[in-house]
Amino acid sequence: DQQVKQNSPSLSVQEGRISILNCDYTNSMFDYFLWYKKYPAEGPTFLISISSIKDKNEDGRFTVFLNKSAKHLSLHIVPSQPGDSAVYFCAASAGEDYQLIWGAGTKLIIKP
């Protein structure tokens, strides 16, 4: 039973345009959400997070939106750059549970 779902295995976006990566979750106890970026043969790196008390968090070109009623979050990258080509993972945790629950990832390809 996947509690965190990234339904798009891949996404192709033109350089300079907006990239929107989506993530859905089923566990209403999740209260902290994170996005990680991963290049091939490397470990993921933390990108941005959001607490359930907020509906938006921004960091430079990256913005995460949280819609609690829909149990949906999205990562917006504006403008998209070639270096953004990577696999993006959504992860969630509940309270003080130590375990992060991970989505399967979305491979983002930025076309020149």
Smallest distance from other proteins to CB 2, Å: 8
Smallest distance from other proteins to CB 102, Å: 3
User: Is residue 46 close enough to count as binding other proteins by CB under 8 A?
Assistant: yes
Cβ(75)–Cβ(63) below 8 Å: yes
By CB under 8 A, what part of segment 18-37 binds other proteins? 32, 34, 36
Could you please report the per-residue DSSP string of 21-63? EEEEE--TT--EEEEEEE-TTS--EEEEEEETT-SEEEETTEE
Q: What distance in Å separates the CA atoms of residue 27 and residue 93, rounded to the nearest whole number?
A: 9
User: Is residue 49 close enough to count as binding other proteins by CB under 8 A?
Assistant: yes
User: Is residue 96 close enough to count as binding other proteins by CB under 8 A?
Assistant: yes
Binding site for other proteins (CB under 8 A): 4, 9, 32, 34, 36, 41-46, 49, 89, 91, 93, 96, 98-105
